[in-house]
């Protein structure tokens, strides 16, 4: 049996998946027992995790509004995760209804849910693709149908790079994506860190998941912005990147860095 271009047996429900764990922590329902068990274990290992994922989601909303307000009308969201309202295109189109969004994720469940929920107006697409093959992502016909790489693009890599090991060369992956973007494009990025608390217990939860959790320091995360100009306030814990509300409780413990950067003309 197939659904949206993949075999339903490709969906692995025997191990927790990062997108479904994240959905559970946000209060979503598109997850399985294994994902909920992993999410509960995370909450024991990192008690602020639910506050953290909500703060990361709020950072995403603020960053999307910023880049759209700066004039960008195309967004490439890689590692989008399960749809969570408001979705990126809904946030963006509140500011500019003509914004086009291409979503990319490697989880077939994300693809299935996305196709069921996204509009068919031609302003959005969802692609089953893998960040570890960035050339295939930017060259995918369904991405190209929505994104014109001759015009500025906002590239979203939100809470996804920490699921790549150093051996998978995440810096090189980001560089490949950067080089596909024209001047005036933006990078919106967030990444998990252990800089503010010992998170070895959280990492252990992901050892049985479909992807491991690879925490990185501030200096390591900043290297992903090579070739971009970081905007104020630079790389910050997500609650403190241009906040529009008071910070949530335990903000000082939240283990997510976030930043927005612009690709300047050479």
H or E element in which residue 187 lies: strand 186-192
- Structural domains in the chain plus CATH codes: 2-262 (3.40.50.150)
Tokens 């910070």 belong to 247
- The distance of Cα 156 from the centroid of its chain, to the nearest Å, equals 6
Task: Please choose, from the candidates 164, 167, 161, 182, the residue with its C-alpha nearest in 3D space to the C-alpha of residue 227.
Answer: 182
pLDDT per position as a tens digit, 180-237: 999 999 999 999 999 999 999 999 999 999 999 999 999 999 999 999 999 999 999 9
- The DSSP secondary-structure symbol of 231 reads P
Q: 157 CB contacts (<8 Å, ≥6 apart)?
A: 78, 79, 131, 174, 177, 187, 188, 189, 190, 224
d(CA 250, CA 7): 42
Find the helix or strand (DSSP H, E) in which 103 lies. Answer: strand 100-105
pLDDT digits (tens, 9 = 90+) for 170-189: 999 999 999 999 999 999 99
Length of the chain: 266
pTM for the model: 0.93
Residue predicted with more confidence, 4 or 11 = 11
Give yes or no for residue 147 having a pLDDT over 80. Answer: yes
């Amino acid at each position: 049996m197939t659904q949206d271009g993949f075999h339903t047996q490709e969906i692995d429900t025997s191990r927790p998946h990062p997108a479904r764990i994240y959905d559970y922590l946000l209060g979503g329902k598109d997850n399985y027992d294994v994902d909920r068990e992993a999410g509960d274990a995370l909450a024991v290992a990192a008690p602020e995790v639910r506050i953290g994922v909500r703060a990361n989601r709020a950072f995403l909303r603020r960053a999307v509004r910023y880049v759209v307000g700066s004039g960008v009308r195309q967004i490439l969201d890689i590692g989008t995760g399960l749809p969570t309202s408001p979705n990126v295109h809904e946030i963006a189109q509140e500011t500019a209804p003509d914004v086009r969004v291409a979503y990319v994720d490697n989880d077939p469940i994300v693809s299935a849910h996305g196709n069921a929920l996204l509009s068919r107006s031609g302003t959005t697409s969802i692609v089953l693709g893998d960040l570890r093959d960035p050339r295939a992502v930017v060259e995918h016909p369904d991405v190209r149908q929505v994104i014109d790489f001759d015009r500025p693009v906002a590239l979203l890599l939100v809470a996804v790079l920490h699921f790549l090991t150093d051996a998978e060369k995440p810096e090189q992956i980001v560089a490949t994506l950067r080089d596909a973007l024209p001047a005036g494009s933006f990078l919106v990025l967030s990444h998990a860190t252990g800089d503010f608390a010992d998170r070895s217990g959280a990492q252990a939860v992901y050892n049985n998941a479909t992807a491991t959790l690879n925490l990185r320091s501030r200096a390591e995360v900043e290297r992903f912005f090579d070739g971009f100009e970081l905007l104020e306030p630079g790389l910050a814990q997500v609650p403190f990147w241009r906040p529009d509300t008071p910070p949530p409780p335990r903000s000082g413990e939240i283990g997510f860095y976030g930043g927005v950067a612009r690709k300047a003309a050479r």
